[in-house]
Amino acid sequence: MNNELYKKLVDLYAGRELPSELDAEMEAAAAEDLVLGREMHTLRSAVDLLHNDAGPEYTEESYQRILMKLYARGAAIQPKAPSPLHLQYHLPIQG
């Protein structure tokens, strides 16, 4: 195969979506073309890192922070869940 076709298949190689024989052929072509090899290996390592990433943690604090930003910008939002008690201010009782 020619190098143009290999360059078009790099994204499939990075996602491990190629058949094993074509994958081996891509590896052989990468041994001869250093630019192609660097692109293949860096893209595959980036895809692997993204697949192994757990993603952002969305906590109650994150929810409340986003909600307060929306309120500050004037959004009229009525959440279905009641506001948690730990966000309420406790005022001292004076008698």
Is the pLDDT assigned to residue 4 strictly greater than 90? no
What angle, rounded to 10 degrees, do the helices at 20-32 and 34-52 form?
130
> In terms of pLDDT, which residue wins out, 83 or 31?
31
Q: Looking at residue 35, what is its pLDDT? A: 92
pTM, to two decimals? 0.58
DSSP structure string for 24-66: HHHHHHHHH-HHHHHHHHHHHHHHHHHHH-------HHHHHHH
Task: Say how far apart CA 79 and CA 9 lie, in whole Å.
Answer: 47
CA torsion angle for 46, 47, 51, 54 (degrees, to 10)?
30
Q: Looking at residue 78, what is its pLDDT? A: 80
